[in-house]
Amino acid sequence: MDRRQLLQGAVVLGIALTTSAGVSSAADQSSTVRIGYQKSSTLIAILRSNGELEKGLAELGIAVKWSEFSSGLPLLEALNVGAVDLSGDVADTVPIFAQAAGAKLTYFASEAPSPAAQALLVQESSPIHSVAELKGKKVAVTKASGSHYLLIAALSKAGLKFSDIEPAYLTPADGRAAFEKGAVDAWVTWDPYVSATLKQTQARVLADGAGIANYRRYYLASTNFASSRPDVLRLVFAKLQKTGEWVRKNPEVAAQLLAPTWGLDSGVVSLANSHRSYEVRPVTLESLAEEQKIADVFFEQGGLPKRVDAESAQIWSPDKQASVR
């Protein structure tokens, strides 16, 4: 065979394999729901631990496959390309970046605001005592995270622009390492990283989201999955609501349950839980108003390639039990 024939054969084989994989994926999805989550996905972590979600889905003839992600953006990228079907909670900024990239995602639940669950930290011995003093300083931040927006909002309130600081774009693990070594002047992150750092190191809060960033957490599904399996979304939504209520009523028990799962002391987990609302709600168009504000801020800062219409996103309603605009 000459080179041209080999290339043609490879293309045909590639198409066949892709088609086969698509059929296999569709078959798998009928009996398995793939759920992506982060370390900060508290309610999902509890449901993984107690088996309640798997038990409920088993009654629908569905198994669960779990996948952990380091942060929200890679999680929603996986959701968009069909690697997972549902996401655990992600920060309010993350769906905006996913929308800007053309992702086909559907909101199916949210948590009430938790502004204290993310914070701008400095070392206890730092001479910096106000956000305005960050001018010219190096700040660690995870790109496209909720804390990224908090940093922008806190700087703006202090009369500074984002360009007035030197951002160091790092994952939470790398951000903490840089913070502890003194390689950065400040670090902005979210729980449980905030609480772990406050409990385990000499650090203090320079600012949190109070009055400037509500920090809602959202749960999303691929739009195809939301359309085809509303029964799964109804069950997951109900389990999340029930679990959130249980955490609010049993904070210490919840902390002890989560401690080994997160690899953290129960005191750290208890502090982190005290910063979160865990009140699971349906998503409405009205609740996306702050999403639009976040989108506009990032676009003006040059962080988004185009303007995003937050209200154009698909929303699944547990009342209407369907995807709506």
253-299, pLDDT tens digit by residue? Answer: 999 999 998 899 999 999 999 999 999 999 988 889 999 999 999 99
Q: Could you tell me the CA-to-CA distances from 320 to 98, 110, 181, 231, 315 in Å, in that order?
A: 25, 17, 52, 12, 11
Residue 15 belongs to a domain? no
Residue 13 has pLDDT above 70, yes or no: no
* Residue 130 and residue 221 in one domain: no
pLDDT at 321: 55
| pLDDT tier for residue 207 given thresholds of 50, 70 and 90 | very high
Q: Give the CATH number of the domain where residue 41 resides.
A: 3.40.190.10
Contact criterion met (CB below 8 Å) for 29 and 85: yes
* Residue 159 and residue 246 in one domain: no
Residue 200 has pLDDT above 50, yes or no: yes
**Spatial separation of the C-alpha atoms in residues 325 and 321, rounded to whole Å:** 13
In angstroms, how far is the first alpha carbon of the chain from the final one? 54
**Spatial separation of the C-alpha atoms in residues 316 and 86, rounded to whole Å:** 13
Contact criterion met (CB below 8 Å) for 187 and 139: yes
* Residue 221 and residue 312 in one domain: yes
Percent share of the chain, pLDDT over 70: 89
* Residue 85 and residue 224 in one domain: yes
Residue 13 belongs to a domain? no
| pLDDT tens digit sequence for 144-158 | 889 999 999 999 999
**Spatial separation of the C-alpha atoms in residues 309 and 153, rounded to whole Å:** 20
* Residue 104 and residue 50 in one domain: yes
User: What's the domain count of the chain?
Assistant: 2
* Residue 243 and residue 313 in one domain: yes
Q: Could you tell me the CA-to-CA distances from 177 to 22, 137, 152, 194, 299 in Å, in that order?
A: 41, 17, 22, 13, 30
**Spatial separation of the C-alpha atoms in residues 224 and 201, rounded to whole Å:** 45
Residue 190 belongs to a domain? yes
Query: What average pLDDT score do residues 198-213 get?
Result: 96
End position of a domain, from candidates 156, 188, 208: 208
- 3-state secondary structure (DSSP) of residue 294: helix
* Residue 175 and residue 286 in one domain: no
Tell me the H-state helices in the chain: 3-31, 42-50, 52-58, 72-80, 94-100, 146-157, 172-181, 193-200, 223-228, 230-249, 251-262, 266-274, 289-300
Residue 320 has pLDDT above 70, yes or no: no
Contact criterion met (CB below 8 Å) for 43 and 240: yes
Higher pLDDT, 7 or 208: 208
Cis peptide before 192 (omega within 30 of 0): yes
Q: What is the mean pLDDT of the chain?
A: 88
pLDDT at 317: 85
Write the CB contacts of 214 (distance below 8 Å, at least 6 apart in sequence). 92, 113, 114, 115, 290
Residue 37 belongs to a domain? yes
* Residue 311 and residue 287 in one domain: yes
* Residue 224 and residue 318 in one domain: yes
* Residue 222 and residue 307 in one domain: yes
Residue 307 has pLDDT above 80, yes or no: yes
Q: Which amino acid belongs to residue 195?
A: S
* Residue 180 and residue 100 in one domain: no
Range of the domain at 304: 29-113+216-324
Cis peptide before 282 (omega within 30 of 0): no
Write the CB contacts of 9 (distance below 8 Å, at least 6 apart in sequence). 1
Contact criterion met (CB below 8 Å) for 141 and 168: yes
Query: What average pLDDT score do residues 244-253 get?
Result: 96
Residue 76 belongs to a domain? yes
End position of a domain, from candidates 208, 235, 256: 208
Q: Is the dihedral of CA 6, 11, 15, 17 positive or negative?
A: positive
Q: What are phi and psi of 177, to 5 degrees?
A: -60, -45
Contact criterion met (CB below 8 Å) for 132 and 160: yes
Residue 174 belongs to a domain? yes
| pLDDT tens digit sequence for 42-71 | 999 999 999 999 999 999 999 999 999 988
* Residue 316 and residue 220 in one domain: yes
pLDDT at 301: 87
End position of a domain, from candidates 208, 231, 250: 208
- pTM of the predicted protein model: 0.84
pLDDT at 30: 60
3 alpha carbon, distance to own chain's centre:
47
Residue 19 belongs to a domain? no
Place of tokens 């369907």: 322
From 184, 183, 172, select the one nearest 134 (Cα to Cα): 184
Q: Is the dihedral of CA 167, 172, 174, 175 positive or negative?
A: positive
13-17, 79-83, 85-89, 140-144: least confidently modelled range: 13-17
Residue 4 belongs to a domain? no
